[in-house]
Structure 1
Amino acid sequence: MTSPLRLVPDGELAWPGLSVFDPVYIGVDEFGLPTSVSLIERNMLIGGEPGAGKSSLVNTIVAHLVLSHDCDLVLMDPKQVEMWQWQKSAKVFVGPDIVKAISVLRRLQILMDKLYEQLRRWDRRKIERGDAFRPIALVIDELAYFSATVGDKKLRELFSELLRDLVARGRAVGIIVIAATQRPSSDIIPTSLRDLFAWRFAGRCTTDASSDIVLGRGWADKGYTTTSVDPNNRGLGLLLAEDGVPALVKPAYLDDFECARIAAYAAMLRASDIPVSVRMPVAA
């Protein structure tokens, strides 16, 4: 991936012309053709066994969002190493703290309700490009930590309830949820939650059942399963849209150096006092 980072001729910082409303490039399909996903008014679930390459897909998506002038980010990373490079560009960064994670979800829920009130005043049903409030991308790496591992059962259930509400109701006001987990199972991704995700990506799984937990019941019986993915072909998986069939996709890969370069530039852009209106892309 060629880095889009650049300066305007007079040396001032410039946004690279990306938007959360535009399709997000994620990689190539089995024929080598570019594959993109539209995230506005959509949510995305990413699952697979450890080492399946889900973090590569997460970072590729976050790289687009962090360079989008019209998107705010809320990041939850219990391991604190998968998305730490994007921390300075995030409105909120949550590590291995389920109490803080629940507090953030509650704040997002309150914000969501207020945004719906605003839409009613505008006599509108959904957010549009150029609105006064910006879409928010909530990116959760290792969902299992918050929903099935840490804390007592009541905290885990509360986290899952709040997350489900945001996934179910947040799309029209621009709240995008991207959740990833290394251990797909029914206690982590219940059917009632999975079916709310328009986009689902399954990296390599060790069983057909695990693959179906991400993609949806019955796909393995139709021949769509990631158990056949070569363990050495990290990142390869099946991408399913809510109105389609699973397709093989190889996500793009950004190494730590590229992530660091993009993250540093994005942090400078977001910290700058230059109005967004003058942060124009530069012709190649």
Structure 2
Amino acid sequence: MVTGLRSSRSGEILVPVSRPSLPGLLLVNVARVIGRLVVWSCRHPVAVLVLALAAVVLRSHGPRGLAIVAAAVGALLVVWWRVHPVTFRRVVVSPFRAAFVYARMWQPAMVTCGLDTRMGGEEYLPRIRRVVSTPYVDRVLVKILPGQSPEQYENATSQLAHTFSSVRCRVVLDRPGRLWLEFTHGDSLAEIVPAITPPASVDLTALPIGRTEGGGDWRLRLLGSHLLVAGATGSGKGSVMASMLRAMGPGIRDGSVEVWAIDPKGGMELTPSSGLFERFVYDSPASMVQLLEEAVSFMRFRAERLRLEGQRVHVPSPGDPLVVVLVDEMAALTAYVGDRDLKRRAESALQLLLSQGRAPGVLVVAAVQDPGKDVVGFRDLFPSRIALRLLEDVQVDMVLGRSARLRGAECDQIPASLPGVGYVVLEGVREPVRVRAAYMSDDDVKDTVARFSRDRYSDVVQLAQPAEGRG
């Protein structure tokens, strides 16, 4: 032990300072290395077992024996990967990526992203609790530090994605004090999603219309919820609409669902599906507004009937169908129409349907290119919203709600080569989910009409006031 003297700040008092000897320093460092090896061994028992077995084989059979065993193990791993890839990724890939991708870069990543904390000269880091690897996404469960919030990690998602060589990173809450960092390193939605197989019966709470980024079915809840679909030209709004009609097909065929369609584009978009519609308007803004007002009258009539029957919520049935008012380009009625009176009537009818139509079973499904307030001033009345490719980042929060883009809904970054790709906020889920609608070719649309049309199409000139006994 070497003792020296150190002067105080005043320079008048000398304070003895003890300095550790070289053997003491070596002992401390050896102890630290051993401690880290013990901790690493406890966290990675499979790696320790593999190293131990390799040492035993090397000792007993030499390098040649070790090479033969390694080749045999490699062949078994390949067979395992091909036969049962799910368990292979869970048992082999996830621990490997946890140790050699995330643990290796974790400390510098947390420091450079400002997610570490220093107190009393000690450095504290968020801890990795678990890594789950899939073909396209790695999910890293993180125990955050006291005093941290998920928003701090959301602000660092771009840095984290580049640090771990991922396409994107998003934050998903697990429970208080824990969150998942989802690193996307491949795009499961890059390939076109084929048209869905028509279901045997309709489930209006879970209409299959595409695929989620995780590889599961994208199921849309329509019953009891209005839907707004926003996206730039060519973003795939037609795919969402056509896939939804295909999923509703069994209900259209048995009469438990009716679709009243409005196509301000002169009928070019929706005419191929017109065999599925109970009512279809495309010729003039006046007739479109008339159909909306017919829907309001029908809604009020049904609401009064349900009140007299003591029912609070409409239940669709073949004799009492759910009415879906489908508007292909809502802005043509709420912003672009030149007649101020027609515009006022259209906005009034739509707002009445959106605010009162869910319980009586009269729902609005609308598509729009520009989701701005001057175009859709009542977009907050749509409980369900889908955002496809958008032109500006500010439009994302307009459609999906506040902080949606911060939580991963980068709709303005979706390339034009991926029509049908977008984000949706699901009920009870804080984070937007990336999805892709199934692609519906002209033949698929014709097939849908052939399967589910009831030949009940009627033009707007034949619209009648609601009659007794109807819905």
TM-score, normalisation: structure 2: 0.52
Correspondences of 1:143-182 after superposition (within 5 Å): 143-182=330-369
CA-CA distance at 1:219 after TM superposition = 2.1
Distance in structure 2 (CA, Å) of the matches to 1:126 and 1:29: 30
1:62 aligns to 2:217 (yes or no): no
1:206 aligns to 2:391 (yes or no): yes
- Cα deviations across residues 27-71 of structure 1 (Å, max 9, x unaligned)? 111111111012111111000111111111011111222431210
Correspondences of 1:79-94 after superposition (within 5 Å): 79=265, 80-94=267-281
**Structure 2: which amino acid aligns with 1:233?**
L
Select which of 36, 58, 62 maps to 2:219: 36
> 1:97: which partner in 2?
284
Distance in structure 2 (CA, Å) of the matches to 1:67 and 1:84: 20
**Structure 2: which amino acid aligns with 1:110?**
S
**Structure 1: which amino acid aligns with 2:359?**
A
Q: Does the 8 Å CA contact 2:407/2:432 hold for their aligned counterparts?
A: no
SS state at 1:18 partner? coil
> 1:48: which partner in 2?
231
Q: Does the 8 Å CA contact 2:259/2:326 hold for their aligned counterparts?
A: yes
> 1:134: which partner in 2?
321
Q: Does the 8 Å CA contact 1:52/1:203 hold for their aligned counterparts?
A: yes
- Cα deviations across residues 208-234 of structure 1 (Å, max 9, x unaligned)? 122222112332344433112122111
Greater alpha carbon shift after TM alignment, 100-109 vs 124-133: 124-133
Correspondences of 1:210-225 after superposition (within 5 Å): 210-225=395-410
> 1:121: which partner in 2?
308
Count of aligned residue pairs for this structure pair:
258
Gaps of 5+ in 1: 5-15, 272-284
Distance in structure 1 (CA, Å) of the matches to 2:347 and 2:428: 25
Select which of 90, 97, 110 maps to 2:297: 110
SS state at 1:185 partner? coil
CA-CA distance at 1:72 after TM superposition = 0.6
Greater alpha carbon shift after TM alignment, 77-86 vs 249-258: 77-86
CA-CA distance at 1:256 after TM superposition = 0.8
**Structure 1: which amino acid aligns with 2:402?**
R
Distance in structure 1 (CA, Å) of the matches to 2:344 and 2:215: 42
Return closer, same or farther for 1:243/1:195 CA change in 2, 3 Å cut-off.
Answer: farther
Distance in structure 1 (CA, Å) of the matches to 2:401 and 2:196: 35
Greater alpha carbon shift after TM alignment, 84-93 vs 27-36: 84-93
Distance in structure 2 (CA, Å) of the matches to 1:125 and 1:81: 38
**Structure 1: which amino acid aligns with 2:272?**
Q
**Structure 2: which amino acid aligns with 1:64?**
A
TM-score, normalisation: structure 1: 0.84
Higher relative contact order at CA 8 Å, sep ≥6: structure 1 or structure 2?
1
CA-CA distance at 1:130 after TM superposition = 3.5
SS state at 1:259 partner? helix
CA-CA distance at 1:260 after TM superposition = 1.1
Return closer, same or farther for 1:42/1:260 CA change in 2, 3 Å cut-off.
Answer: same
Greater alpha carbon shift after TM alignment, 153-162 vs 55-64: 153-162
Identity %: 26
Q: Does the 8 Å CA contact 2:264/2:332 hold for their aligned counterparts?
A: yes
SS state at 2:292 partner? helix
> 1:261: which partner in 2?
447
> 1:11: which partner in 2?
none
Q: Does the 8 Å CA contact 2:409/2:434 hold for their aligned counterparts?
A: no
> 1:251: which partner in 2?
437
SS state at 2:359 partner? helix
CA-CA distance at 1:264 after TM superposition = 2.7
> 1:275: which partner in 2?
none
SS state at 1:254 partner? coil
Greater alpha carbon shift after TM alignment, 164-173 vs 211-220: 211-220
> 1:9: which partner in 2?
none
CA-CA distance at 1:20 after TM superposition = 5.4
- After superposition, the CA RMSD in angstroms is 2.0
Q: Does the 8 Å CA contact 1:119/1:125 hold for their aligned counterparts?
A: yes
Q: Does the 8 Å CA contact 1:148/1:188 hold for their aligned counterparts?
A: yes
- Cα deviations across residues 74-97 of structure 1 (Å, max 9, x unaligned)? 001112122112213312111142
Larger of the two Rg values belongs to structure: 2
SS state at 1:171 partner? coil
**Structure 1: which amino acid aligns with 2:247?**
H
Greater alpha carbon shift after TM alignment, 250-259 vs 96-105: 96-105
Q: Does the 8 Å CA contact 1:76/1:140 hold for their aligned counterparts?
A: yes
**Structure 1: which amino acid aligns with 2:263?**
D
SS state at 2:325 partner? strand
1:71 aligns to 2:257 (yes or no): yes
**Structure 2: which amino acid aligns with 1:260?**
K
Gaps of 5+ in 2: 1-194, 457-471
CA-CA distance at 1:251 after TM superposition = 0.8
Return closer, same or farther for 1:30/1:151 CA change in 2, 3 Å cut-off.
Answer: same
Q: Does the 8 Å CA contact 1:78/1:142 hold for their aligned counterparts?
A: yes
CA-CA distance at 1:116 after TM superposition = 1.0
Q: Does the 8 Å CA contact 1:20/1:71 hold for their aligned counterparts?
A: no
SS state at 2:219 partner? strand
